[in-house]
Structure formats: structure tokens, C-alpha cells
Amino acid sequence: MKGVLVSTTQRRLIYLSPAISKRWLAAFLMAIACFLGVEAVVHAQAATQKSTGVYLIKSAEGWELQRNGEPYFIRGAGGHKRLQALVDAGGNSIRTWGANNAGEILDHAHELGITVTVGIWLQHERHGFDYADSDAVANQLAEARGFVEQHKDHPALLMWGLGNEAEGDGENPLVWKAINDVARMTKEIDPNHPTMTVIAEIGGEKIPNLKKYCPDIDVLGVNSYGGAPSLGQRISEAGLGRPYVIAEFGPLGQWEVGKTPWGVPIEQDSTQKAKYCAEGYNYSIVGQPGRCLGGYVFNWGSKQEVTPTWYSLFLDDASSTETVDVMTRFWTGAWPENRAPQIQDLQVVDIDLNQVKAGARCISRVTAQDPDGDELNFQWVVQSETTDRRTGGDFEQAPPTHPDAILENNGRGAVFKAPETPGGYRLFVYIRDGQKHVATANVPFFVVP
């Protein structure tokens, strides 16, 4: 028979039987309650219960995320690839957009000691989903329930990301109500992890409708690019009353930049992107203590969207860009031992890029440097402008490249021939330092007969 050993004031050990043990413990707790007050014991029990799991704590200083009883600030990235590189850079969390392969992703993250905001994809009206169709909405809710029940106890789970830009223009109450139904269901099944929905910026009636229709959403996630530096101030002015996470931030979006006369967006180079990411992080993430719980830089991998480099923090060969260096400094307090090359200028000289004659011989020049003095290698590529332009980050096919267009590679300059087929193209330069780092830039040009 097992019992409990209790030390007395004379340091003698007294054996208590199980029955006596229960009575003794009850009396002991009652004595503490009388001495400290019942409320203190209740708070102590609540604190013990909250020592595991993830919870939002509000104090006089504002909101704080706590994981297993310790403060947790999100140093995150969007995507589930190159996770060792994320850990090496000081990151502690990733975000997914849907729950496909969530088990494998959670397991891998747990092995590396990082967390996952697990996305549960909620359908978009722009893709044809009808939120007035009660059966379709009920099926979506049931599918979400299955994901929550399957993964709610995983130790790498940080939060639930319920929908990504599902709100559309933010005007349809049925969408917000459906989001809240998923959040309420999630909280009933899993009270140990916060709920978050992610919206595209905060304009129009998005925040008022979130506050009106979504009481069960704990955290607001916002995808913000050009607006990231001002987002914290704008959220404060909107009176959100809840903590927020910047669920995607990065360079200026293709909808936020200048365009050529033929209507294609002009991409920032990798150095400009790094500076812009730093500005957004400074002002609206670490600059908003008690209100912002952290952020997820986009995209911790490579992705074709407008171009193969617009949102890619890595290339397919695993070379990392200057933005990764910037995030490393934010997350660890120090620059990485070796840093990516930096670009000052890229130009095609003595030619009108709006009307380049087919077959014309063109000369390009780039100005770049390496912070570590590494020898630089220059790759020049002519690529067609994409004709598979999508919205909202939907999958795009990569356009073809034209290797025969590069006539001479002179390192910091190149001679290339305009393709014979009229239309839009871009000249890319990839600058590598031999240390798995890269700088990128491109200029669009239009070929005429």
C-alpha cells in the first residue's frame, strides 16, 4: 500500500495511508485558504493549470503570449521549408496556411524546438464559395473540427490560424460569422491555444466587423506589406482592443509599386527589400510592446509570384538574401558571421526600355558590394514576363527563360540581345558570394518589332 511522507517541524517522517492522505491534503488546502484567502488558492490553481499550453495574458503593460508558463514572442516565418536555417537565424515559429501535412510539419518543428501556427484554410468567395450555402458552411466547419481534434494536443502547436484573407472585401457578415463559428468550435475543443484569423490589411469595415461578429477570435493576424511600417499606429487608431500578429510582412507588394508604361510592376532589389522589412519590423512589431505578439516574415523559401524573386527569401539552390540577414540581427541581436551581397544600382544603358527593337544589342551594368569582401559571381538571365498573373498568392507557372539572349557576361556587366518575339521581358542579375548568399535585381523591358 502506498502512502504519503510528510515532514514535520521536528523533521520526523510520518506515514499517512491513502485515505488519511486525502483528508490531510484537503485540510491542508483549507488551512491555506483560511490563511491566504480562497481567491488566492483559486488563482494558484489557475496558474498551475496554465503552466502548460499557450495562453494570452493581459496586464497593465498590455497583452502577452505565454507558452508553458513563459513569455513567448513570435520570431516567425511563413512556410515550412528550410527550418534548420530558421533556427540558425534565431527564429522560433512558422506559420502554415492550411492543415495539409500538419502532423509531419508539427513533428519536424518539435524536433527543432520551434512552434507552428497551424492554418486551417477557410474558403474564399473569389474562388466561388457561397457563404449563404448553409450545407457548404457546415461541411467546412466539420472539416475544421477534424483538424482541431487531430492536432490539438501536439506540443509544437502555438495557435490556430483560422482562415487566410477569407474575409475578401470584409463586407459580408456571413463570412465573419462563419469564421467565428470555427473559432468557437475550436475553443470548445481546445481551450489551451489561442484562435487567430488572418486578414489582408485592415481597410474598410474589416476591424469593425471583426469586433462585431467575431468575439471568439483571440488574436488578429494581418498580412501587411507596404502598410507594415504604419500598421501598428493604424490598428491603435482603429480601436481593435485585442492583440495582433503581422502574419505576413515583406517587400512592397506588386499592387503597391510603380508600373511600367505597359503595366507591369517594378520590383525592389534585394537590398531595398531588406531595408523595407526592417522598417516594418521596427515600427509595427517590436515597436508595439503589449499590443503586437510578433510576426511572420514572408516567404521563408522560394516562390514564383510575379517573378521568381519577388517574395523569395531563398533561391532554389538554398542561397539566402539580405532580408534573412536583417531578420537574424533582429532575432539574435547580431549579424550573421557572413552576410549577403548588397546592390546599389542596376541599369540598362542608352536604350529606351519601353520599346526595345527585336534583336537589339543591349548593355547592362550593376553596382554591388559584399560586406565581407567576398569575391562575387554574377549571373545574368533574360526571362519572359509572366502571363499567369494570379491574385492573393495563388499558384503561378514560372515563365520561360532565354539563355541564348545573354551574349557576354562581363561580371558587373552583360551584353544581351532582345528576343525576337515582341512582348514583355525582364533582365535579372543574381549576385552570389560563394558563401550561399545572393543579391537579386531585375529591370523590365518591352520588345517591339
Domains and CATH numbers, the chain: 4-49 (no CATH), 54-332 (3.20.20.80), 342-448 (2.60.40.1930)
Is residue 186 helix, strand or coil? helix
pLDDT of residue 392: 67
CA 430 to chain centre: 25
CA distances, 3 to each of 6, 11, 20, 26, 315 (Å): 10, 18, 9, 15, 62
For residue 25, pLDDT over 90 is answered with: no
Residue 387, pLDDT score: 85
Strand order in the sheet with 377-384: 356-357, 438-448, 423-432, 377-384
Residue 30, pLDDT > 80, answer: no
| CA-wise closest residue to 228 among 198, 208, 248, 242 | 248
pLDDT at position 94, please? 98
Rg (CA), the chain: 27
Average pLDDT over residues 82-90: 98
- Categorize the per-residue pLDDT at 146 as very low, low, confident or very high, splitting at 50, 70 and 90: very high
User: For the chain, how far is it from start to end, CA to CA, in angstroms?
Assistant: 95
Q: Does the structure show a pLDDT above 90 at 48?
A: no
- pLDDT, one tens digit per residue, over 350-363 is 999 999 999 999 99
* pLDDT on residue 5: 31
pTM higher than 0.75, yes or no? yes
Kindly state the average pLDDT of the residues 387-391.
74
Q: Which residues contact 249 (CB under 8 A, 6 or more apart)?
A: 223, 224, 225, 228, 277, 280, 281, 284, 285, 295, 296, 297, 298
- Report the percentage of the chain scoring pLDDT > 70: 88
For residue 396, what pLDDT is reported? 84
How confident is the model at residue 24, as a pLDDT? 43
Q: Report the percentage of the chain scoring pLDDT > 90.
A: 85
What's the average model confidence in pLDDT over 73-99?
A: 97
pLDDT of 428 reads 98
For the segment 414-425, the average pLDDT, to the nearest whole number, is 97
Cell matching residue 424: 514583355
Pairing of strands 342-349, 54-59: unpaired
Dihedral angle, C-alpha 305, 310, 311, 315, nearest 10 ° = 100
Residue range 106-141, pLDDT digits in tens = 999 999 999 999 999 999 999 999 999 999 999 999
Residue type (1 letter), 68: N
Q: Which helix (H) or strand (E) holds 407?
A: strand 406-409
pLDDT at res. 389: 72
pLDDT bin (cut points 50, 70, 90) of residue 26 is very low
